Amino acid sequence: MKSDPRDYQLDIRSADIDVPHLQAQRAEGKRPYLRVLFACCSVYQRVYRSGDGKRYDARCPKCGKSARFMVGEGGSDEREFVVE
């Protein structure tokens, strides 16, 4: 099967990052994320925590529906969510 020229991968693991909290996460080898199912289009997406560490902003890649998950006290330990 011939590959589509629009399919590509970019390896940025060796890129210089000046943001301290991203450097720390990279050094630890992990970055917090949620797994979100957009029921509207039956699409799963991995959503990473924002740069300031206060939220997760998700957007359906097909229809553009958005959802925001806030980080804070009294929150949930769940890592998977469904957006209706």
Q: Report the chain's mean pLDDT, rounded to a whole number.
A: 80
- In this prediction, residue 74 has a pLDDT band, given cuts at 50, 70 and 90, of confident
- Assign 11 to helix, strand or coil: coil
Mean pLDDT of the 44-68 span = 93
Residue 61 has pLDDT above 60, yes or no: yes
pLDDT for 79: 93
Distance CA 18, CA 1 (A): 40
